[in-house]
Amino acid sequence: MLKDKKKSCVIYFDNAATSFPKPDCVTTAVVHYLTQIGANPGRSGHKLAIEAGQIVFKTRKSIAALFGLKNPMHVIFTSNATEALNTAIKGVLQKGDHVVTSSMEHNSTIRPLHEMEKEGIISLSIIKADKIGILDPEKIRKAITAKTKAVVINHASNVIGCIQPIREIGKICRENGVIFIVDCAQSAGVVPINIDQDNIDILAFAGHKGLYGPTGTGGMVIADGFDFKKIKPLKYGGTGSLSDKIEQPDFLPDRFESGTLNVAGLSGLLAGSEYIQNRDGGIRGILEHKIELQNYFIQQAEMLIKDFCCYSSFQLPSTGVVAFSINNFSVSETAQILSDKYGIMCRQGLHCSTLAHQTIGTFPAGTLRFGFSIFNKKEELDLAVQALKSISESRNI
């Protein structure tokens, strides 16, 4: 797999959007499902349908283990993190509710919240993070009122990689009887998470980023003790259960899983989730690897590139996401040259997070973003630093 990637001379640093390449076992699992099983899970009773159902169950169990969840039925599969966040947000909030969120949210959180505010359903307090993107839990405590139903927080920033103190924020939510919803799109598989110890009620994850599954996978995870009937489903429809009734089932996961699941995607997600959990050093090892890559890149770039301007914090715990720019070059121009001339894939712009860029002072220009994966090597970072150096010098005549 890595050999193939080398052959085509691609350096892939867009892992914060979707990870690539995937471990070989992920591809094998998807192909196995598509060629050997192929059936719809949970509908018919034939052998292949049961095998498909078993894949789905094993995936639920693996995701439950990843987050320290006891009941695998509390893992609800969705098509991505956005659908999970919308299910949680729209499912929990009712007319008159107040919500606390942060200036570091992704559009998948801030847009549904903003829309509900605009429609007069909820009121919203957006707590500003500091310049390095970190939230002060005490500011969240102060924003909670008698009307506050939920606090919604992005665990790890897709813009600069910083990690929020969710355990403390969750504790404040518990003390105030407020539902704590956490966006773990960037942190799942990168930062160790325990839904119980971290005081989370509902979390959303993406399967196609740090869990190395295919696109079209993700989910909503509901804490073991949380009364899931407080969440209204976003979708209604066929579940393969209670087929003689026209009411939606009120048990998990069927309450939220209408329509045929993406079993091809989940097959890959299962392989990816097992791969990272069985890796030497586990999730903590992945975090350490990413911090090492991030620090190495920032160090080298600051040393060798005169006009390098970095917005991610050196040495602070982070998910291996570096936001930067090269002075005198627009970020779109730099990204285009990196892709066309050097085969380096990265993202540029505002990363679906306007407020986060306003918080760190990079709005409206945006930044370049390198998001590292478990497969990136220091040699690739060296090549990228050399490429950026050449770009920065090309205009210093």
Partner 1 sequence: MKAVILFHSTNHAIWAENELKSHKIVCKIISVPRHLSSDCGYCLQINAEDKEEAINLLNTNNIEFEKVEIL
Task: Find which of partner 1, ligand PLP, none residue 81 binds, CB within 5 to 8 Å per kind.
Answer: ligand PLP
Q: In angstroms, what is the minimal distance from the CB of 158 to ligand PLP?
A: 3
Q: In angstroms, what is the minimal distance from the CB of 304 to ligand PLP?
A: 29
Please state, in angstroms and rounded to a whole number, the distance separating the CA atoms of residues 278 and 311.
33
* Region from 78-86, 161-169, 290-298, 340-348 binding ligand PLP, contact rule CB under 6 A: 78-86
Count CB atoms within 10 A of the CB of residue 381.
23
Whose Cβ is closer to ligand PLP: residue 53's or residue 201's? 201
Whose Cβ is closer to ligand PLP: residue 90's or residue 106's? 106
Whose Cβ is closer to partner 1: residue 261's or residue 350's? 261
Which residues inside 151-180 make contact with ligand PLP, applying CB under 6 A? 154, 158
Closest CA to 77 of 57, 91, 93: 57
Q: In angstroms, what is the minimal distance from the CB of 283 to ligand PLP?
A: 17
* Region from 44-52, 79-87, 235-243, 316-324 binding ligand PLP, contact rule CB under 6 A: 79-87
Q: 139: Cβ–Cβ under 8 A, 6 or more apart, which residues?
A: 127, 128
Q: In angstroms, what is the minimal distance from the CB of 50 to ligand PLP?
A: 29
Cis peptide bond N-terminal to 233, omega within 30 = no
Q: In angstroms, what is the minimal distance from the CB of 373 to partner 1?
A: 31
188, 74 Cβ separation under 8 angstroms: no
Task: Find which of ligand PLP, partner 1, none residue 185 binds, CB within 5 to 8 Å per kind.
Answer: ligand PLP
Q: Give the one residue of 183, 198, 257, 380 binding ligand PLP; rule: CB under 6 A.
A: 183
Tokens 């695998």: give the residue: 72
370, 325 Cβ separation under 8 angstroms: no
106, 257 Cβ separation under 8 angstroms: no
Whose Cβ is closer to ligand PLP: residue 218's or residue 233's? 218
Angle between helices 107-118 and 81-92 (to 10 degrees): 30
Q: In angstroms, what is the minimal distance from the CB of 274 to partner 1?
A: 15
Tokens of 218: 């993700």
Q: In angstroms, what is the minimal distance from the CB of 221 to ligand PLP?
A: 14
Whose Cβ is closer to partner 1: residue 256's or residue 370's? 256
Task: Find which of ligand PLP, partner 1, none residue 106 binds, CB within 5 to 8 Å per kind.
Answer: ligand PLP
Task: Find which of partner 1, ligand PLP, none residue 377 binds, CB within 5 to 8 Å per kind.
Answer: none
Computed over its alpha carbons, how large is the radius of gyration of the chain? Answer: 21
Q: In angstroms, what is the minimal distance from the CB of 277 to partner 1?
A: 18
DSSP of 157-198:
-TTT-BB--HHHHHHHHHHHT-EEEEE-TTTTTTS---TTTT
Whose Cβ is closer to partner 1: residue 74's or residue 389's? 74
Count CB atoms within 10 A of the CB of residue 121.
15
Which residues form the interface with partner 1 (CB under 8 A)?
A: 41-46, 50, 53-54, 56-57, 60-61, 71-73, 239-244, 249, 251, 253-254
* Region from 35-43, 58-66, 80-88, 361-369 binding ligand PLP, contact rule CB under 6 A: 80-88
Q: Is 185 in the site for ligand PLP (CB under 6 A)?
A: yes
The neighbouring-strand residues paired with 310 are 324
Residue type, 287: L
Which residues inside 196-235 make contact with ligand PLP, applying CB under 6 A? 206, 218
199, 217 Cβ separation under 8 angstroms: no
Q: Is 89 exposed, middle or buried (0-12, 13-18, 19+ CB in 10 A)?
A: buried
Classify residue 302 by its DSSP letter. Answer: H
Q: In angstroms, what is the minimal distance from the CB of 61 to partner 1?
A: 8
- Using CA atoms, how far residue 170 sits from 100, 215, 341, 387, in Å, is 12, 29, 46, 43
Whose Cβ is closer to partner 1: residue 71's or residue 394's? 71
Closest CA to 200 of 211, 188, 190, 212: 188
Residue type, 9: C
Q: Is 80 in the site for ligand PLP (CB under 6 A)?
A: yes
Q: In angstroms, what is the minimal distance from the CB of 246 to partner 1?
A: 13
Dihedral (CA of 305, 308, 310, 313) sign = positive
- List residues binding ligand PLP (CB under 6 A): 80-82, 106, 108, 154, 158, 183, 185-186, 206, 218
